[in-house]
Structure 1
Amino acid sequence: MSPAIRSLVVTVSDLDAAKSVYGALLGTPHTDQPYYVGYNVGGFEVSLAPGDPTGGPVAYVDVEDLDAARATLLAAGATERSAPTQVAPEARVCVLADADGNPIGLRGK
């Protein structure tokens, strides 16, 4: 599988306020939980997650082997913002950063 960006996670400080704005733009979410609100936008996932919004939105690249992709990027000079975390039975995510601090999300097995 070639890497593909299929989702964008927007971290927000006020989930209800963000749902109001994003709902006006994107319609009714397919998932509406206190920890995750997800919208399907033409097959692309846009989601809201509560937290500290100072890091900006994170685009997640789907990779076949999360550990291998993470190791390759760290060896190339990326730094780790968040370690791999299991988010679903078949999915783990982590966030790295480039030299300027821009987030790079990875999602895979």
Structure 2
Amino acid sequence: MSSGINTVIYHVADLDRAKALFGTFLGVEPSTDSSYYVGFEFDGQQIGLVPDAKERGFTGPVCFRDVPDIAAAHQALLAAGAESDEEPHDVGGGLMVSSVKDADGNVIGLRQLP
């Protein structure tokens, strides 16, 4: 089982098209296949597709990148035009996280390991 992100949800406009693409990408058939949710079990993770991108305005999932200096990386993204979503902070045991939003509202996550 993964100790990282165990569920990733993609909000899609065309569920059938996304299902075909993710089935090819992951190399597995859906474990759940309905008109409101398609889920794939892959290497201990659940990859889900929800057909509400147009209604909800979602542009994609949030991914976190490991960086050696979270404060510097956060500031660099702000200098590049991002808006702070969550300032760098310790979430326990020295693990630091932060996030910013790009001009389109997409959330970009940063993580610094202890």
Structure 1 length-normalised TM = 0.50
Q: Assess, with a 3 A threshold, how the Cα gap between structure 1 residues 77 and 104 changes in structure 2: closer, same or farther.
A: same
Partner of 2:73: 69
Structure-1 separation of matches of 2:6 and 2:77: 19
Q: Which runs of 4+ in 1 moved over 4 A?
A: 6-11, 53-56
Q: Which runs of 5+ in 2 are unaligned?
A: 10-31, 33-38, 48-55
SS of structure 2 residue aligned to 1:58: coil
SS of structure 1 residue aligned to 2:40: helix
Partner of 1:25: 40
Structure 1 counterpart of 2:82, one-letter code: A
Structure 2 length-normalised TM = 0.48
Q: Is the 8 A contact 2:66 2:110 kept in 1?
A: yes
Structure-2 separation of matches of 1:108 and 1:61: 8
Structure 2 counterpart of 1:87, one-letter code: V
Structure-2 separation of matches of 1:9 and 1:84: 23
Q: Assess, with a 3 A threshold, how the Cα gap between structure 1 residues 81 and 54 changes in structure 2: closer, same or farther.
A: farther
- Deviation string, structure 1 residues 30-76 (Cα, Å, up to 9, x no partner): xxxxxxxxx855xxxx8xxxxxx987521001101000000111111
Q: Assess, with a 3 A threshold, how the Cα gap between structure 1 residues 73 and 10 changes in structure 2: closer, same or farther.
A: same
SS of structure 1 residue aligned to 2:72: helix
Partner of 2:82: 78
SS of structure 2 residue aligned to 1:25: strand
Counting aligned pairs with the same residue, the percent is 38
Higher relative contact order (CA 8 A, sep 6+): 1
SS of structure 2 residue aligned to 1:106: strand
What is the aligned length? Answer: 75
